Amino acid sequence: MSGGGTSVAVLGTGIMGSAVARNLLEAGMEVRVWNRTREKAEPLGAEGAQVADSPREAARGSRVLITMLSDADAVERAVGEGVLETLAPGAVWLQTSTVGIEGTRRLQRMALEQGVAYVDAPVLGTREPAEAGELVVLASGPEEVRPDCEPVFEAIGKKTLWVGPVGAGTRLKLVVNGWITGLLGVLGETFALAERLGVDPSSFFEAVEGGPLDLPYARVKGKMMAEREYPTSFSVRLARKDVALILEAAGSLRLPVCEAVAYHLDRAAEAGRAEDDMAALYEGVRATSG
């Protein structure tokens, strides 16, 4: 399957899905899109995508199905509307949402029941890398469908890691998300401590500048915290969902840092920040101060 002329259905055109669809269009692919709230998909129509009224309409005859939705339940609802049986023969389903271990098993079963090749392919990156086509794809699935996936992954990402059979991509994504959310939690507490001690946050960055503790990620999220402005790249609500998936996967393994991050995210949501960027975790930390 070459890039040009490849027919792709994208279910879910939020921040990430709309960026993915645009990059597929730019790569010369035929793209059909669907979103539960049609208004979020309509701008893509002006850019060359076909906007469908239902997931089934979007998927009909497509060689590739991409799901980029909030969680496993949302994916199951969308795909469960008779979508898989309408795909072209030999089609492949690229499941790019972060759905956790049990969610991945559930969705893979749906694919197996319809004889559709399933690739577990969560991505690393938020709004900016998605828009730039610089996501990192953590792909896992059948070896034989890799050539069908490559044009799509090249269009949306800067790097693809094939990490094993279905489920391996999701496990790696949970590990990376544990690192990301842990950093976010520590950063939020660091800024709250700076505020309590009367330290200008810019002094913190000056102190670590140029060394191994100077992380670009911390600067991006720290700027939001310092300004208390949180334009959304990835929301508090979705970050909390991902932390729940990490804790569920950990089972009997205690992860106190993740538990603390969950607590801060819950406080941020209670403060009305659920749809703000996950850097608004800082507001959750501040909300607990006496």
pLDDT in tens, 90-141: 999 999 999 999 999 999 999 999 999 999 999 999 999 999 999 999 999 9
CA angle 46/277/195 to nearest 5° reads: 150
Q: Write out the two tokens for 193.
A: 């401590």
Could you tell me if 118 and 141 are in contact, meaning their C-beta atoms sit under 8 angstroms apart? yes
* pLDDT for the residue 81: 82
* pLDDT for the residue 78: 97
* pLDDT for the residue 66: 98
DSSP category for residue 126 = -
Q: How confident is the model at residue 290 (pLDDT cuts 50, 70, 90)?
A: low
* pLDDT for the residue 5: 65
* pLDDT for the residue 4: 55
What is the average pLDDT value for the chain, to the nearest integer? 96
> Taking Cα atoms as reference points, which of 124, 108, 249, 252 lies closest to residue 177?
124
Q: pTM surpassing 0.85?
A: yes
Q: Look at residue 67 and give its three-state secondary structure.
A: strand
- pLDDT > 60? residue 2: no
Tell me the per-residue pLDDT of 248-289, one tens digit each, with 9 for 90 and over: 999 999 999 999 999 999 999 999 999 999 999 999 999 987
Q: How confident is the model at residue 89 (pLDDT cuts 50, 70, 90)?
A: very high
Which residue in this structure is represented by tokens 């992954």? 153
Taking the alpha carbons at both ends of the chain, their separation in whole angstroms is 60
Q: Which amino acid is at 106?
A: R
Tell me the per-residue pLDDT of 129-180, one tens digit each, with 9 for 90 and over: 999 999 999 999 999 999 999 999 999 999 999 999 999 999 999 999 999 9
Residue 171's beta-bridge partner residues?
Answer: none
**Catalytic pick from 40, 158, 159, 173?**
173
* pLDDT for the residue 1: 45
Tell me the per-residue pLDDT of 190-247, one tens digit each, with 9 for 90 and over: 999 999 999 999 999 999 999 999 999 999 999 999 999 999 999 999 999 999 999 9
Could you tell me if 221 and 187 are in contact, meaning their C-beta atoms sit under 8 angstroms apart? yes
* pLDDT for the residue 288: 84
Q: Other CB atoms closer than 10 Å to residue 236's CB: what's the count? A: 28
CA distances from 69 to 17, 18, 174, 258 (A): 8, 11, 17, 23
Q: Is 158 a catalytic residue?
A: no
CA 170, distance to chain mean position in Å, is 11
